[in-house]
Amino acid sequence: MKNLLQIDRLSKGYNGTTVVHDISFSLEEGQILSLLGPSGSGKTTLLRLLAGLEHPEAGRLLFNGKDMATTPPHKRQFGMMFQEYALFPHKNVADNICFGLEMAKWSPDKQQQRVQEMLTLVGLQGKENRRIDELSGGERQRVALARSLAPQPRLLLLDEPLGSLDRVLRDRLAAEIRSILKNQKVTAVFVTHDQTEAFAVADIIAILRQGRLEQFADPEEVYRRPKTVDVARFLGFRNLIDCVRHPLTGFFDQLPAELHTCSGKLLIRPEGARLSEKQTKDSIEPQLSGQVAGRQFQGQVYSMEIQVRDLQLHFDLPIDPAPPQINETISLTINPSAVVQFGEQAG
């Protein structure tokens, strides 16, 4: 696969404040990239730079090898889909989908054929004559997606498209969006602040923080090996141990040699522990023991708060065997693959 989109040291600021700082990455044809980060991290500004709605102060944006600096938004042939959908309330479903085709001067016959293809693609067959206000939120989202895809954009840009929907519907439609984009072989950039959504949709995740690119990797790599402490915290990981304040040789009952030299912070992912009946001296896996401070059944797992010395750690344990009750002692074996070391970083 060839690199379709290349971002080279892109920067943008407003009123003396840099909101996108020296960002570089490339995206292959057919890949879905998620720009993931908290509010104010620069996600939407970067998306607007891609669309040509903002102009960079430094850096280049290449599409299919061409510098897009002088190409206005309407000539980039990029599609856009927003959280608010931006549908026309006075037009029915078919007319909304047809809007971009009319602008591109498709023939009436081809317009009609393409609209029917899009209705089938997004599961809205037979609803072409419905008014927009007669549709559910999920159906409106499908109309907006169909309208964005109809003109066959070279790149599709989606800005928090599921942000106004409830959790259950968001999870279902995130999977549907990925399936549709992959079916159509569309290259896309998907902005979200929701990691579950990003993991469900994306081939590649770019995590932004304060306008900087913190990590660029596939979803599994991001989850298994967050690059920085800030990325780990953004992903919701709570088991961050300061190796200076809490020497690991006294924290764990068994400690692999590679952890003896930890000089920064250590992450233990929440799924990385299992019950151990007793501590074994010949174990090659790190072990720890503590007191159960919290225990909540959540269906597939028990969410456990474990007090280990002056630290409280969080683990998700299998429901069988059932873990000890609150205030009881618990012994855990830690999977080394769930342990991530960070160097001496700020924070």
Domain check: are 86 and 110 in the same one? yes
Per DSSP, 37 falls in state -
Predicted confidence at residue 246, as pLDDT, reads 82
Do the Cβ atoms of 161 and 83 come closer than 8 Å?
yes
Domain check: are 274 and 159 in the same one? no
pLDDT less than 50: residues of the chain: 346
Which of 28, 24, 30 lies closest to 9, judged by CA?
24
Report the domain count for the chain: 2
Predicted confidence at residue 278, as pLDDT, reads 61
Strand order of the β-sheet with 240-242 is 240-242, 265-268, 339-342
Domain check: are 172 and 271 in the same one? no
| Integer Cα distance of 177 and 182 in angstroms | 8
| Residue 287 belongs to a domain | yes
Show the domain range for 45. 3-234
| Integer Cα distance of 160 and 145 in angstroms | 12
Predicted confidence at residue 279, as pLDDT, reads 55
| Integer Cα distance of 19 and 316 in angstroms | 36
Domain check: are 78 and 168 in the same one? yes
Domain boundary among the residues 188, 211, 234 is at: 234
Predicted confidence at residue 58, as pLDDT, reads 96
CA distances from 147 to 98, 240, 265 (A): 7, 45, 47
| Integer Cα distance of 53 and 82 in angstroms | 14
Predicted confidence at residue 244, as pLDDT, reads 84
Which CATH number characterizes residue 311's domain?
A: 2.40.50.140
Domain check: are 206 and 319 in the same one? no
Domain check: are 128 and 247 in the same one? no
Domain check: are 246 and 222 in the same one? no
Tokens linked to 346 = 């700020």
| Residue 13 belongs to a domain | yes
| Residue 347 belongs to a domain | no
Domain check: are 213 and 299 in the same one? no
How close are the terminal C-alpha atoms of the chain, in Å? 38
User: 148 in helix, strand or coil?
Assistant: helix
Domain check: are 103 and 140 in the same one? yes
Predicted confidence at residue 281, as pLDDT, reads 60
Which of 259, 283, 270, 286 lies closest to 342, judged by CA?
259
Neighbour-count burial of 232, counting CB atoms closer than 10 A to its CB (0-12 exposed, 13-18 middle, 19+ buried):
buried
Q: Tell me the per-residue pLDDT of 209-229, one tens digit each, with 9 for 90 and over.
A: 999 999 999 999 999 999 999
| Integer Cα distance of 317 and 325 in angstroms | 13
| Integer Cα distance of 101 and 149 in angstroms | 10
| Residue 121 belongs to a domain | yes
CA dihedral 168, 171, 173, 176 (to 10 degrees): -140
Q: Which residues of 292-331 are buried (b: 16+ CB within 10 A; e: fewer)?
A: bbebeeeeebbebbbebeebebbbebeeeeebbeeeeebe
Number of Cβ within 10 Å of residue 40's Cβ equals 14
Predicted confidence at residue 346, as pLDDT, reads 46
Predicted confidence at residue 119, as pLDDT, reads 95
Domain check: are 279 and 166 in the same one? no
| Residue 32 belongs to a domain | yes
Which CATH number characterizes residue 57's domain?
A: 3.40.50.300
Neighbour-count burial of 188, counting CB atoms closer than 10 A to its CB (0-12 exposed, 13-18 middle, 19+ buried):
buried
Do the Cβ atoms of 303 and 292 come closer than 8 Å?
no
Domain check: are 205 and 258 in the same one? no
